[in-house]
Amino acid sequence: MARKPRWNKPGAVDGVGVITLSSWRWFHEFIYQEMLDFKTYIWRGQRCDDWLLTPSLERLLRRVRRRDTAARRNSHLEAFKFAARGRRGSVRNPLDSENDWWALGQHQGLATPLLDWTRSPFAAAYFAFIERGSPQTQFRAIFALSQEAVEQKVFENYLGQGGAKNRLGIEFVRPLSDDIPRLVNQDGLFTHAPAGEDIESWVKRNFPGFAKHVLIKFLVPNDDREYCLRSLNRMNINHLTLFPDLYGSSVYCNLDLEIDNY
């Protein structure tokens, strides 16, 4: 019987490539053998492989059939600022930018234009596999986005506009606020993409004919969920380490009950 290949490795089309792994066990090997530049990428995991890289605010507005306008975003953020008064606990450091406020809201359940990413491919894998849900696709998705390539393209677009402020690029957000301790444990950051455009579409539009991988979508079999989570736990990647609070402790204990030999 022919051995099932570990993965396929097609070239990128317009900067985007899809790599299908036959098993979770090959993810680690691919990262360290085939991606010597993996540290130039940021990573994100999603439960279903047919979900777009679209932020929660856009998904919410689409669900309630409202247009995603700058005025609506601004009023939503201002409402959160007023609602947050007196609720930040002992933390009193000022939030200097709009993105700082969006980042604070993102980790408190606010619908925002930000997407969560991490610098760890294995933390991203954990977030791809931790949730159960229905419907569930055959594969879980782990995305890798070249921050270096995107920032270079945004700069080129900026120069191409004669130095005019480019509002159509992807912005990388790393807040310094002490309000979000999870960011430290998760080595996290955010992307802020143009309204109404998912990240894959932005990459394809800005890298036509580009054969190198700007965005990689890894497909890992959903059937490997327990195997994946068990392996990551032995690498000390779990809710206990990624969420430094009682919520993290609770989910960790629940998984210990759910998964044998966790």
Residues counted in the chain: 262
| Nearest Cα residue to 140 out of 217, 222, 215 | 222
**Inter-residue contact 195 to 102 (CB < 8 Å):** no
Half-sphere exposure of 108 (CA within 13 A, CB side): 15
Apex 186 CA angle, 167 and 100, nearest 5? 35
Of the pLDDT bands very low, low, confident and very high (cuts 50, 70, 90), residue 162 is: low
Mean pLDDT in residue range 226-242: 97
pLDDT for 190-208, tens place per residue?
A: 999 999 899 999 999 999 9
When the pLDDT of each residue in the chain is averaged and rounded to a whole number, the result is: 91
| Nearest Cα residue to 134 out of 218, 48, 56 | 48
Q: What is the pLDDT of residue 258?
A: 95
Q: What is the pLDDT of residue 9?
A: 75
- Kindly tell me if the per-residue pLDDT of 64 is higher than 90: yes
Mean pLDDT in residue range 115-133: 97
Hey, where are the domains in the chain?
16-69+97-225
CA 20 to chain centre: 19
- Kindly tell me if the per-residue pLDDT of 1 is higher than 80: no
Percent of the chain surpassing pLDDT 90: 75
Percent of the chain surpassing pLDDT 70: 94
> What tokens does 175 get?
């807040």
Q: What is the pLDDT of residue 67?
A: 87
Lowest mean pLDDT: which of 43-47, 157-161, 212-216, 218-222?
157-161
pLDDT for 82-103, tens place per residue?
A: 999 888 877 667 787 899 999 9
**Inter-residue contact 132 to 70 (CB < 8 Å):** no
CA 252 to chain centre: 21
Q: What is the pLDDT of residue 163?
A: 54
